[in-house]
Amino acid sequence: MIPAAFDYHRASSLEGAAKLLAQHAGDAKLLAGGHSLIPMMKLRLAQPGVVVDIGGLVELSYIKRHRKHIALGALTTHASLAASTELGKSHRALVEAAGAIGDVQVRNCGTIGGSLAHADPAADYPAVVIAFEGEVVVKGATGARTIPAFKFFTGPLSTALAPDEIVTEVRLPTFADSGSAYEKFAQPASGFAVAGVCAVVQLDKAGSCRQVRFAATGVTDRPTRLAAVETALKGAPWNVHTVRAACERADSDIKHVLEDAYASADYRRHLLRVVARRAAERAMPLSQS
């Protein structure tokens, strides 16, 4: 299909893009990689009167390591994240999620900021930023603010962004003595998650679980922490038996599970338990005791 008519503006600066959004509040959309917005426009699920292209703002493409966190520019592509050996050492789940998105063309054009702002319930990054307890930095015509990841996603295709705000950076804390992994069961055509889980695990010297964070995507209308799994594992010995028993509870706190042509609610619950276990088992080495 052909999109409805719209005006096109190519932003030369972040400030200029924010002003255009404010000027056309409620009728403007940002274009970065385009792999979320353009398909929706073709299907006329989105019909913005104004499209503001920020794809040329190269200053928003970077990976920077700070003492306690990594900072990712909003226009950093999936391919750049997937290829980062440095990120793989401390944030393996992020690298795995980036490498599992779409196909080569999508990964070379799509961006982390665009994916988070689109907030598809089956996208991969939301589970990762929630599990790492990350932050999303946004900027509008009146200034910048930082939004905790757990407050950023408000529903399907819905976020805490104001109409004139742009995602500029994603920050993920760096945890000592930790490991992480991302697992998903993907839709065969799109690669979106039918069920996906990010596990972030920290062990103490005795091999018990000092801290653990699990988050799921594709299962509900927004990324969801798996509180029952975290409660069962925190303070427990990190071994095959405790991990598998805890992951069998992955869906126990989730009242409403998505159901569609790809999976019934019951099957999606089953998949959630399976991918949670697989993510946990790869996040940190398991003892057999």
| 23-42 pLDDT tens trace | 998 899 999 988 889 999 99
pLDDT, position 286: 84
Q: What is the pLDDT of residue 232?
A: 98
What's the mean per-residue pLDDT of the chain? Answer: 95
Give backbone dihedrals phi and psi of 207, rounded to 5 degrees, phi first: 90, 15
Q: How confident is the model at residue 288 (pLDDT cuts 50, 70, 90)?
A: low
Percent of the chain with pLDDT over 90: 91
Residue pair 126/154 in contact by the 8 Å Cβ criterion: no
- Output the pLDDT for position 1: 74
202 near 178, Cβ under 8 Å? yes
Q: What percent of the chain has pLDDT over 70?
A: 99
Where does the chain show beta strands of DSSP type E?
A: 7-10, 28-31, 50-53, 63-65, 69-73, 135-140, 143-148, 153-155, 158-159, 166-173, 178-186, 193-203, 209-217, 224-225
The pLDDT of residue 116 is 97
DSSP 44: T
Query: Distance between alpha carbon 237 and the CA centroid of its chain, in Å?
Result: 29
Residue 198 pLDDT > 60: yes
pTM confidence score:
0.94
Q: Over the stretch 205-223, which tens digit does the pLDDT of each residue have?
A: 999 999 999 999 999 999 9
- What's residue 177's pLDDT? 86
Is the pLDDT score of 176 beyond 90?
no
Residue type, 266: D
In 3D, which of 79, 82, 25, 73 has the Cα closest to residue 52? 25
Count CA within 13 A, CB hemisphere, residue 200: 23
More confident residue, 36 or 64: 64
